[in-house]
Amino acid sequence: MTTQEVAAKLAEMCSVGKFEEAVEALYSPDIVSVEAGAPPGQSREAKGIAAVRAKGEWWVTNHEVHASTVEGPLVAGAYFAVTFKLDVTFKPEKRRFQMEEVGVYKVVDGKIVYEEFFYSM
Amino acid sequence: MTTQEVAAKLAEMCSVGKFEEAVEALYSPDIVSVEAGAPPGQSREAKGIAAVRAKGEWWVTNHEVHASTVEGPLVAGAYFAVTFKLDVTFKPEKRRFQMEEVGVYKVVDGKIVYEEFFYSM
């Protein structure tokens, strides 16, 4: 798949909440995933598909999604950007919040090899 | 200005080649600008408006722009993304090339405080 095709597929799957399915379908085994920040002592980077699956499972287990919007993609060469707007409850604290973030992705040989998220902490 | 307003203004100015004017109008004195890569021994980061102006002047002096397209912005909270597609000649080598990149920007108090560019080296 081209960058444009991977980008369109990711946006389509995430817009219907298929985050984990998107990882299985579109991500390289060697994916590097970078968050805007991390808790003290933890890394912003998750390396490899197992670490990214674990991060996704933690997220799905701990959040209830009330609404989500995906905008984009904007595609440029091997990279593309989308935005996510989420209205969620963090279940362990029963705390509802809205978050908005930019995601930037790199595609090599039809698979996502890098993703980085930009949001205010 | 809101993030949306700054983003729209940046896209508008860059789409008509007003890159340096955009820096003057929209950037914080404390801007941090990050490239995808740097020559050996040089930093990917430029810190402060003077360093960013110098980088812009070097670029304008050394490139002839044949065509440029700006797409976006996509806005999420304090961040936004645009893409640039450029057809340019690097004048010192008379080498013409096309480049495509994603730019991610952060806005605080109506000014751009951070920008990062994603492109293949």
Average the pLDDT over B43-53 and give the result: 95
**Contact call for B77 and A106, based on CB within 8 A:** no
**Contact call for B118 and A79, based on CB within 8 A:** yes
**Contact call for B100 and A83, based on CB within 8 A:** no
Q: What is the pLDDT of residue B39?
A: 78
Average the pLDDT over B66-90 and give the result: 96
**Contact call for B101 and A77, based on CB within 8 A:** yes
Does the interface ipTM go beyond 0.85? Answer: yes
Average the pLDDT over A96-100 and give the result: 96
Average the pLDDT over B39-52 and give the result: 91
**Mean pLDDT for chain B?**
95
Average the pLDDT over B29-57 and give the result: 92
Q: For residue A116, give the H/E element and its range.
A: strand A111-118
Helices A19-26, A3-15: crossing angle, 10 deg rounding: 160
Q: Which is nearest to B85 in space by CA: B51, B44, B49, B117?
A: B117
The total number of residues written for chain A in this structure: 121
DSSP 3-state of A50: helix
Q: What is the pLDDT of residue B38?
A: 83
Q: What is the pLDDT of residue A37?
A: 87
Of B72, B79, B106, the CB nearest to A74: B72
Work out the burial of residue A89: count CB atoms within 10 Å of its CB; fewer than 13 is exposed, 13-18 middle, 19 or more buried.
middle
Q: What is the pLDDT of residue A38?
A: 84
> What confidence tens digit (pLDDT) does each residue in A5-57 have?
999 999 999 999 899 999 999 999 999 999 998 878 889 999 999 999 999 99
**Dist CA A30 CA B16 (whole Å):** 39
Share of chain B above pLDDT 70, in %: 100
Q: What is the pLDDT of residue A95?
A: 97
Q: Is the pLDDT of residue A121 over 80?
A: no
**Contact call for B102 and A71, based on CB within 8 A:** no
**B70 neighbourhood in chain A, CB within 8 Å:** none
Helices B19-26, B3-15: crossing angle, 10 deg rounding: 160
Is residue A48 within 8 Å of residue A89, measured between CB atoms?
no
Share of chain A above pLDDT 90, in %: 90
Rounded to two decimals, the pTM is 0.95
Is residue B104 within 8 Å of residue A81, measured between CB atoms?
yes
Q: From chain B, which residues contact A within 8 Å (Cβ)?
A: 71-72, 74-85, 99-102, 104, 106, 118-120
Work out the burial of residue B33: count CB atoms within 10 Å of its CB; fewer than 13 is exposed, 13-18 middle, 19 or more buried.
buried
Interface residue of B79, B86, B115 to substitute, partner A, most A CBs within 10 Å: B79
Q: What is the pLDDT of residue B40?
A: 82
C-alpha Rg value of chain A to the nearest Å: 14
Residues 6+ apart with CB under 8 A from B20: B53, B56, B57, B60
